[in-house]
C-alpha cells in the first residue's frame, strides 16, 4: 500500500463515525473520491455516491461499504455528573469498562468508562454489566457541570490508536467498516485509471450497524445492475475461535467471497473469475441464511439487485483492537478493479432458469 492510500485509510480510521453521526467520516471519503470521480453526490441522511461514467452500454456495477462504526450514546446524566450510556449498533459490553472514550458534542469531551477496582469487587462470581448499567466519567462533580459539557443524545466512541503490528498486520477500532469504504473508493479509482467502459459506482452508506438503513435508501435510489458489498468477516485463526461455527478464514490468505443467501450465484462466479484473471487468491465462506451486511438490503431493493458480499478477514470484531492484514486489503481493491475491468463483457446477471 503506497503512502497516499495508507494516509487515506488512516484518515478514515481516526475520524469518529458512529451510526447516525457519520458526517465527519463521510467528508473524508467524499474529499478523497472527488479527486477522480466524474460526480459525487450525497443524500439527506449522508449516504455518499461517486461515479465513473462509462462509455459503454453494459451493466452498471456498484462497490459499497458502510461508513458507520459502533459506539455508545449518552442516555442520561446523574445528579453527581456521571453519564449513563446505551449502545450504538452492536457495542460489546465486555470490552467497554476501563476504556478511554470521547463524547462528541459541540466540542469533544474526554472521558473514561468507569470500572470498580479489583480490590473492591467480589472476584470470581462476576458478570458483565449491561451497557445501560455502565457510566462515563468526564470529571464533572455535578449534573450542572456535566450539562455544560455534554447533552443527552451525544455519541461516544472509544479513544484508541492505530497500531502497526508485525509484518503487514494492522490494529485499530473501526476496521468494521472503514476497510469497506476504503476498498470501494479504491475500486473506483482503479476503474477511472483504466478508463473502463462500464459505469462504476463507489458508495459509502450510513447506519449499517443500525439495520442496513443506508443501503436500503441507496439501493432504491441508485438501482445498479449489480452491487458488491464490502465488509469485514470473522477471521477464525486466533486461538479462542470455534472453527466449526464459522468456517476457516485466515488473515493473509486473501479476500473472502461469500456463497449462499443474498449472494447472487452469477455474481459469485464473476468475482471468482475476475480474481483468477489477476491471480488474486480468494477464500470462500458459506452464508446459508444471511450475510449480515449491506448485501442483505441491496438484493431486495426494487425488483432485486444481484448482490455479493466480499469480506476482509478481521480478528476481534466490534472491539477497539480489530486486526487485519493490509495485504488482504490491497488484494481486495485489486479484485474490485478486476471486476470493473471485466463487467462490460457481462450480458446479464440473471440466473438461467
The predicted structure's pLDDT at residue 243:
66
Question: Does 108 share its domain with 228?
Answer: no
C-alpha–C-alpha distance, residues 43 and 284, integer Å:
34
In a domain, 168, yes or no: no
Question: Does 266 share its domain with 150?
Answer: no
Positions in the chain short of pLDDT 50: none
C-alpha–C-alpha distance, residues 302 and 178, integer Å:
27
Q: Which triple of cell numbers denotes residue 122? A: 467480589
User: Is 221 known to sit in a ligand binding site?
Assistant: no
Split into its structural domains, the chain has a count of 2
The predicted structure's pLDDT at residue 241:
82
Handedness of CA 330, 332, 338, 343 (dihedral sign): negative
CATH of the domain at 95: 2.40.30.40
What is the four-CA torsion angle of 332, 328, 8, 343, rounded to 10 degrees?
-10
Angle at 162 between CA 235 and CA 280, to 5 degrees: 45
Please check whether residue 229 is in contact with residue 183, taking contact to mean a CB–CB distance below 8 angstroms: no
User: Is 231 known to sit in a ligand binding site?
Assistant: yes
Residues contacting 261, CB < 8 A, separation 6+: 287, 288, 289, 290, 291, 296
C-alpha–C-alpha distance, residues 215 and 311, integer Å:
17
Q: Name the strand (E) or helix (H) holding 259.
A: strand 256-259
pLDDT tens track for 251-272: 999 999 999 999 999 999 999 9
In a domain, 260, yes or no: yes
**Residue where one domain finishes, among candidates 126, 158, 190:** 158
Question: Does 124 share its domain with 65?
Answer: no
In a domain, 166, yes or no: no
User: Is 209 known to sit in a ligand binding site?
Assistant: yes
| Domain extent for 208 | 3-69+173-345
**Residue where one domain finishes, among candidates 158, 181, 211:** 158
Please check whether residue 160 is in contact with residue 95, taking contact to mean a CB–CB distance below 8 angstroms: no
**Residue where one domain finishes, among candidates 124, 158, 192:** 158
In a domain, 265, yes or no: yes
- How does the average pLDDT of the chain come out, rounded? 95
CATH of the domain at 61: 3.40.630.10
User: Is 66 known to sit in a ligand binding site?
Assistant: yes
The predicted structure's pLDDT at residue 242:
74
The predicted structure's pLDDT at residue 331:
98
Question: Does 244 share its domain with 152?
Answer: no
**Catalytic residue numbers?**
208
Amino acid at each position: 500500500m503506497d503512502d497516499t492510500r495508507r494516509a487515506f485509510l488512516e484518515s478514515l480510521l481516526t475520524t469518529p463515525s458512529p451510526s447516525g453521526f457519520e458526517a465527519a467520516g463521510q467528508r473524508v471519503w467524499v474529499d478523497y473520491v472527488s479527486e477522480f470521480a466524474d460526480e459525487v453526490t450525497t443524500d439527506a441522511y449522508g449516504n455518499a455516491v461517486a461515479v465513473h461514467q462509462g462509455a459503454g452500454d453494459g451493466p452498471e456495477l456498484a462497490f459499497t461499504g458502510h461508513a458507520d462504526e459502533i459506539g455508545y450514546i449518552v442516555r442520561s446524566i446523574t445528579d453527581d455528573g456521571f453519564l449513563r450510556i446505551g449502545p450504538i449498533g452492536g457495542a460489546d459490553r465486555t470490552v467497554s469498562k476501563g476504556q478511554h472514550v470521547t463524547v462528541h458534542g459541540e466540542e469533544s469531551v474526554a472521558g473514561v468508562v468507569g470500572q470498580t477496582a479489583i480490590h473492591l469487587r467480589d472476584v470470581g462470581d462476576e458478570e458483565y454489566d449491561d451497557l445501560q448499567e455502565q457510566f462515563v466519567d468526564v470529571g464533572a462533580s455535578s449534573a450542572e457541570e456535566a450539562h455544560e459539557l455534554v447533552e443527552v443524545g451525544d455519541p461516544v466512541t472509544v479513544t484508541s490508536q492505530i497500531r502497526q503490528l508485525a509484518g503487514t498486520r494492522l490494529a485499530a477500532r473501526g476496521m468494521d467498516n472503514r476497510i469497506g469504504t476504503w476498498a470501494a473508493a479504491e475500486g473506483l479509482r482503479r476503474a477511472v485509471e483504466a478508463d473502463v467502459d462500464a459505469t462504476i459506482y463507489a458508495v459509502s452508506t450510513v447506519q449499517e450497524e443500525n439495520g442496513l438503513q443506508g443501503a436500503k435508501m441507496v439501493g432504491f435510489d441508485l438501482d445498479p445492475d449489480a452491487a458488491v458489498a464490502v465488509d469485514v468477516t470473522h477471521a477464525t485463526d486466533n486461538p479462542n475461535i470455534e472453527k466449526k461455527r464459522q468456517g476457516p478464514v485466515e488473515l493473509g490468505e486473501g479476500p473472502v467471497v461469500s456463497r449462499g443467501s443474498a449472494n447472487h450465484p452469477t455474481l459469485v462466479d464473476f468475482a471468482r473469475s475476475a480474481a483468477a484473471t489477476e491471480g488474486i487468491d480468494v477464500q470462500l465462506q458459506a452464508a446459508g441464511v444471511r450475510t449480515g451486511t449491506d448485501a442483505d438490503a441491496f438484493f431486495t431493493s426494487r425488483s432485486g439487485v444481484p448482490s455479493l458480499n466480499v469480506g476482509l478477514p478481521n480478528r476481534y470484531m466490534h472491539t477497539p483492537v480489530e486486526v487485519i492484514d493490509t495485504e488482504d486489503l490491497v488484494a481486495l481493491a485489486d479484485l474490485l478493479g478486476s471486476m470493473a475491468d471485466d463487467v462490460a463483457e457481462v450480458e446479464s446477471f440473471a440466473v438461467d432458469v
